[in-house]
Amino acid sequence: MTIKILIGSLLVGFCFSSVALANNRCLRELKRNDVSFQRVDKKHIDEGVKISGEIGDVLYQSQTQQDLIIDCPLAYALSRLSPLLRSMGITKVIWSSAYDIRKIRGTKKYSRHSFGLAIDIVGVEHEGKIFRVSDHYEQGLGNKNNCIGEPLTKGGAILRSMFCQWDASGLFRIILTPDYDAGHYHHFHVEVDPNRLK
């Protein structure tokens, strides 16, 4: 498959309307989206969930064998995007950090990881091959009119397309890529705003 055909196929038909989600409905929505989870009580997290295995047919695998513990709204946002990932041929998302009480580097402010509202994604598996942000993400691509730009490699196209689709979904408050700063050279920091999902 050429890069252009791949990008074209990724762009077709993904339009996300605004999400209606009341706080107390989040767990129910997760169940409805076939996410298998356990509720967990963790400091700083409003409605903690532990997810072992898949979120809607996409495996979220820790690179350090940790359980995925996040706040329900982040799990819900990820579950909304699983059909998109599957249609792109992505079956696995590899993450390095999720719930982790820590400050934003150089500040005294808690990172959204502290509240289970952020996840750091380091790579994906596409048709049996792993593409890592550190190795395959091509920096400096895209502009206001064309988010994806012209990646030179298949891995670059997949990762950039994933970023653009997730960014356009409106499900996240912010997604930081290696384009943001040197500290993000090997991951996408993906952060949900629970208020946006209400």
Which residues are at the interface with Zn ion (CB under 5 A)? 118, 120, 189
String of b and e for 12-35 (b: at least 16 CB within 10 Å)?
A: eeeeeeebebeeeebbebbeebeb
* Closest distance of CB 152 from Zn ion, Å: 27
Alpha helices, DSSP H, located in the chain = 3-11, 26-32, 72-88, 133-136, 154-168
In terms of CB distance, is 105 or 108 closer to Zn ion?
105
Residue with the shortest CB distance to Zn ion: 189
* Closest distance of CB 184 from Zn ion, Å: 8
* Closest distance of CB 146 from Zn ion, Å: 26
In terms of CB distance, is 6 or 51 closer to Zn ion?
51
**Do residues 161 and 153 lie in contact, with contact meaning Cβ atoms separated by under 8 Å?**
no
In terms of CB distance, is 151 or 194 closer to Zn ion?
194
H helix and E strand count, the chain: 5, 10
* Closest distance of CB 121 from Zn ion, Å: 9
CA atoms of 79 and 58, how far apart (whole Å): 9
In terms of CB distance, is 10 or 118 closer to Zn ion?
118
CA atoms of 20 and 6, how far apart (whole Å): 31
